[in-house]
């Protein structure tokens, strides 16, 4: 038996089958996510008054909560942060997703509303380094690719549909790329740091540097 889950009394609970977690909410506005061993995974803080109800989000690993503070909040069950804060004119006491997952019923003291569900972004890929800039290809005859310029002096080409890293260009640590262009039909990547332009072959992984050009006067 687990005791002392919250400092204040628990006022709402939800079991999320897909994530296999129990979510509890308290009168002080705190929300906690527990695994089957009663280890706490996340503690959400943001509501300024007691939580009224909890609901699953139909698209992705998200939790929806409503509070007496007249806000609805959307929380990530993957990263533990708040995704959205929606002010409402009066506290929402009940929330339910319709069977086809396209509509969302919310009930307050005075009215019943039918909302459209917004699909939040999904995790695509892990770059292992801060991303400084992104570009996407638009060639009509090839799948969309996303090019990531990263702080660790690498340039990664990612399949936009799956998030798979297809190939990477590894530059010297002192080469800080500021711009790039990807000729997907030719399997050629151009990367520039303001003084040097690199031309690389993207048909292999890692990319093979073919030429370097000095672009300064």
What would the DSSP string read from start to end of 118-182?
A: P---------SS-EEEEEE---TTS--EEEEEETTSEEEEEETTT--EEEEEE--TT----EEEE
pTM value > 0.85: no
The alpha carbon of 110 is separated from its chain's Cα centroid by a whole number of angstroms, namely 35
Q: Given this model, what pLDDT does residue 118 score?
A: 63
* Tokens linked to 25: 């909410």
The domain segmentation of the chain, as residue ranges, is 10-116, 131-214
Q: Given this model, what pLDDT does residue 101 score?
A: 56
Q: Given this model, what pLDDT does residue 182 score?
A: 95
Q: Given this model, what pLDDT does residue 18 score?
A: 85
Cα separation, 182 vs 66, in Å, equals 45
Same fold, 10-116 and 131-214: no
User: The domain 10-116 is classified under which CATH number: 3.40.190.180, 2.40.50.100, 2.130.10.10, 2.40.50.140?
Assistant: 2.130.10.10
Q: Given this model, what pLDDT does residue 47 score?
A: 94
**CATH architecture type of domain 131-214:** Beta Barrel (2.40)
Neighbouring CB atoms inside 10 A of 180's CB total 21
Q: Given this model, what pLDDT does residue 102 score?
A: 61
Q: Given this model, what pLDDT does residue 217 score?
A: 58
| Residuewise pLDDT in 10s, the chain (217 residues) | 566 788 888 999 999 988 899 999 999 999 999 998 999 999 999 999 999 999 988 777 889 999 999 999 999 888 888 888 989 888 888 887 765 556 667 777 767 777 776 655 556 677 778 888 888 888 889 999 999 998 889 999 998 888 889 999 999 888 888 899 999 999 999 999 989 999 999 999 999 999 999 987 5
């Amino acid at each position: 038996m687990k005791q002392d889950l919250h400092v204040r009394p628990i006022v709402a609970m939800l079991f999320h089958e897909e994530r296999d977690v129990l979510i509890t909410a308290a009168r002080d506005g705190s929300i906690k996510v527990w695994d089957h061993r009663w280890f706490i995974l996340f503690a959400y803080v943001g509501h300024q008054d007691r939580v009224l109800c909890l609901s699953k989000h139909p698209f992705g690993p998200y939790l929806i909560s409503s509070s007496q503070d007249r806000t609805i909040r959307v929380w990530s069950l993957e990263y533990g942060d708040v995704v959205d804060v929606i002010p409402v004119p009066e506290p929402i006491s009940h929330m339910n997703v319709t069977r086809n997952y396209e509509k969302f019923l919310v009930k307050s003291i005075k009215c019943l509303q039918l909302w459209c569900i917004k699909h939040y972004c999904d995790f695509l890929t892990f770059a292992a380094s801060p991303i400084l800039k992104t570009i996407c290809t638009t060639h009509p005859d090839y799948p969309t690719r996303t090019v990531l310029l990263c702080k660790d002096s690498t340039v990664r080409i990612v399949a936009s549909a799956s998030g798979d890293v297809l190939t990477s260009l590894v530059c010297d640590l002192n080469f800080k790329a500021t711009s790039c262009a990807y000729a997907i039909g030719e399997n050629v990547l151009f990367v520039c740091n303001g003084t040097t332009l690199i031309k690389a072959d993207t048909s292999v992984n890692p990319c093979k540097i073919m030429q370097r050009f000095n672009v300064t006067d």
